[in-house]
Amino acid sequence: MSSSGDTAATFCATLVDEWARQGVRHAVVAPGSRSTPLAVALARYEGIEVHVFHDERSASFAALGIGVASGFPAVLLCTSGTAATHFHGAVVEAHQSDVPMIVCTADRPPELREVGAAQTIDQTHLFGSAVRWFHDPGVPSRDAAYTWRSLASRTVQAAVGVRPGPVHLNLPFREPLTGDVVDMPTSREKKWSEVIRLGSSENQEVSEIVKAISGRRGVIIAGRGASRDVLSLAEALGWPVFADAVSGVREKNNAVVIGFDAILRSQTFASTHVPEVVARIGAPPASKVLAQWVKKNDCRVVQLRSSEMVTDPDHMVEFTVVGDIATTTRVLASAVTSCDKAWIADWADAEVRAQNAISDWTIEHFSEPSVARTVTAAMQVGSHLVISSSMPIRDVEWFGTSTPGVTVHSNRGTNGIDGVISTAVGVAVSTKARVTVLIGDVACLHDSNGLLALNRRDIDLTIVVTNNDGGSIFSFLPQAQIVSNSDFELLYGTPHGASFEHLAATHGIAYERVASVKDLEATLQHGGTRLIEVPCDRFTNVSQHESLNLAVVAAVETRA
């Protein structure tokens, strides 16, 4: 890009092109300067008719009228400042009357806000709860070009959704406000972010999804919210299931692949086993390796969700099916056809090799992955496992065993380490079942108040703390190679020197300290509320993970 003006022009041209592809045929524009990039893009596009109104209020009600008459949203555009406030009446009417509308308010860039710049007000959530969706993508950046078409598609989908209504895009632009359209992201025949909503009936129309996945090589990524019916769908398709720790489908089954993260680190295997389709069911796993593999292959992505919440961080989803997941998977399983049998055979073989390598390595090396392996292997049917964010959830996802009959929980909505012990206490008092917590030292200290009065509660709670005296996950990030050792320890390593034996004693909780896989296996056989400290070496953690992953890669690539 030769200038920010070119970037803005290309961004707006892409939005307009994709809106037209989604069926938008009208735009209502109130004159102004800051809105120039989008106004020009609309005016230059032959497939969209532009209607200019001098008064913003009149413009907004004209857009309302288009939505009322056509059932499809018009794009409504104004400049920054009080111009946008004159849209409010029509926006509220559209909200109350379920009329689709795409409201675009141009804005000043962040550096001109709250400094007394002319024609600048706070336009964030300007219309409050009267819109179906609000989004501010920030000043257009070429780095985000891959998101532009999905953004345009999502605005249309949100406006015509299960409850149609107005959508608000706040679009900040820097000067220069004019430029050339350069290298506009290409469109695709695949759809962007189309939502299919299913009712309670099992006879709902899912022909588009069936067509997209039948007879093709693919994988199912099962996360939180998946059901065991996923296994029937996998069998019908002949696909492997990449089972996240909280998916509820980590059991002994030929289709279940637990070691997907380590397997995909084999460039040989990953590059020769490229799926045509990925079906994502529930929330996505933590694995960056998996996410990067899916993105690199640019395959079709469909997802099944039980709620309207959008989960598409890579902006790749073609279809989202919203409805009861168990019902949806049953309907699909009864209608799809399988791909060739060699596909699932290769994944099943890789999984066996991976699991054997993980077992061998974790038995021989005492490490955080070994702790995750040992804890998951010790879980009993009917029990619950609560896993902290940061390294514990990753180690369980990557190196844990199958956990049939075990309910696994992790606060992955925002991936925080706060409140993990208290969450486990809540699970324990609610279920009256045996509960195990796998947690890091910093997360345990963060929620040490969850231990208050724990010894008085009638629960069976085992707290396993991997203590490496700090935050080991940061050692896996680029900062570890860039920041000086002293600064890294100060800002990221954050050693605390806390005594977990004293912490347990303070709260009157039984305490054990183990330093081997064998001892951990033995102590996990006992019930009762207690805290088990497992000392680990933060400074060798990265190299241990690398060693284990290399062992899995070697095993996967050593095929007869």
Residue 18's pLDDT is 95
Residue 375's pLDDT is 97
Residue 205's pLDDT is 65
Q: Is 353 exposed, middle or buried, given 0-12, 13-18 or 19+ CB atoms closer than 10 A?
A: buried
Residue 202's pLDDT is 46
Residue 184's pLDDT is 92
Residues in the chain, how many?
Answer: 560
Q: Based on C-alpha coordinates, what's the Rg of the chain?
A: 27
Residue 159's pLDDT is 95
Residue 204's pLDDT is 53
Residue 465's pLDDT is 98
Fold designation for 4-172? Rossmann fold (3.40.50)
Residue 188's pLDDT is 76
Residue 2's pLDDT is 58
Q: How do the domains of the chain map onto residue ranges?
A: 4-172, 194-348, 368-539
Q: How many CB atoms are closer than 10 A to CB 427?
A: 19
| Start-to-end CA span in the chain (Å) | 50
Give the span between the Cα atoms of 514 and 521, in whole angstroms. 10
**What are residue 277's phi and psi, to 5 degrees?**
-140, 145
Residue 37's pLDDT is 97
Give the span between the Cα atoms of 286 and 292, in whole angstroms. 11
Closest CA to 533 of 467, 473, 469, 442: 467
Q: Which CATH number fits domain 368-539: 2.40.50.140, 3.40.50.970, 1.20.140.10, 1.20.58.220?
A: 3.40.50.970
Query: Which residues, other chains included, contact 312 with Cβ-Cβ below 8 Å and sequence gap of 6+?
Result: 150, 193, 303, 320
How far from 71 is each of 4, 164, 368, CA to CA, in Å?
36, 9, 56
Write the DSSP string, 254-285: TTEES-HHHHTT-HHHHHH---SEEEEESS--
Residue 200's pLDDT is 45
Q: What angle do CA 456, 461, 463 make, to 5 degrees?
A: 115
Q: Token pair 């320890």 is at which residue?
A: 489
Token readout for 534 is: 């497992």
The CATH homologous superfamily of the domain defined by 194-348:
TPP-binding domain (3.40.50.1220)
pLDDT in tens, 287-338: 999 999 999 988 899 999 887 777 888 888 888 888 888 888 999 999 999 9
Give the span between the Cα atoms of 465 and 441, in whole angstroms. 6
Residue ranges, the chain, pLDDT below 70? 1-2, 190-193, 199-205, 560
Helix (H) or strand (E) holding 485: helix 485-488
Give the span between the Cα atoms of 290 and 241, in whole angstroms. 13
